[in-house]
Amino acid sequence: MLRETQDQVKSFDSESEKNISIIQSQLRSREYKFSAARGVLQKKKNKKPRPIVMAPVKDRVVQRAILQVLQDHKSILNDLDTPYSFGGLQEKNVEKAVLEVQKTMRSGASYFIKSDIKQFFTKIDKTKVMEIFSKTVPFEDVIEVLERSLETQLCKED
C-alpha cells in the first residue's frame, strides 16, 4: 500500500505542472469529478487494523486546496479554534498538542481521555456540514467543490 501510494505521488509529480493545469481547467469549468477512493486496512503494530480511505493523488491535491482556502477564512477558524483542537489547523500541530498535554500534567492533571469516533466520516451528517460552511464561506465555487468531495465513493478491490 505505501509503495503503491509513493509510486502514484511520483507519477503525479513527474508531470505536476501538466496535472495541476488539468485540475485547474476542470475546476474552472466545473467539470472536475472526484474519483472513487479505495478502502484499505491500515495495519497497526499490536492493534487491530484500521480502515482508511485512500483517495487518488489528484483528489488529494484538490482536497488540500479546499483545506487551505477554508483555513485562510477567519470565520471558520473562529469556530474550529478551541484551546484543545489541534487537527487540521495551520497554527497547531502534534508538537503543540504534546506541549499542551505536558503543561496540563504539570499543573496537576493525572488522567487524559482519548476520543476516537468510530467511522466518523461515514456517519457525519454531510447536509449539516454543508449548511454550516454555506453560511460561513462566501465562495460559492469552493462550496460546490467541497460538497462534491464529501460524496466519496469507494471502489471495490479486485
pLDDT tens digit sequence for 48-95: 887 778 889 999 999 988 888 877 776 666 666 677 777 766 777 788
Q: What is the pLDDT of residue 118?
A: 66
Q: What is the pLDDT of residue 1?
A: 59
Tell me what the mean pLDDT of segment 104-129 comes to. Answer: 78
Q: Is the pTM of this model over 0.75?
A: no
The angle formed by the CA atoms of residues 57, 41 and 66, to the nearest 5 degrees, is 30
User: Coil, strand or helix: which one is 53?
Assistant: strand
Span 5-36, pLDDT tens digits: 888 999 999 999 999 999 999 999 999 999 98
Tell me what the mean pLDDT of segment 38-42 comes to. Answer: 81
| Pure H helices in the chain | 2-14, 16-28, 57-71, 74-80, 94-106, 120-123, 126-136, 140-149
d(CA 32, CA 51): 27
Q: What is the pLDDT of residue 134?
A: 84
Lowest mean pLDDT among 56-70, 108-122, 128-142: 108-122
Between residues 157 and 125, the one the model is more confident about: 125
Element (H, E) at 50: strand 47-54
For the record, the C-alpha cell of 104 comes out as 496540563
pLDDT band at 116; cut points 50, 70, 90: low
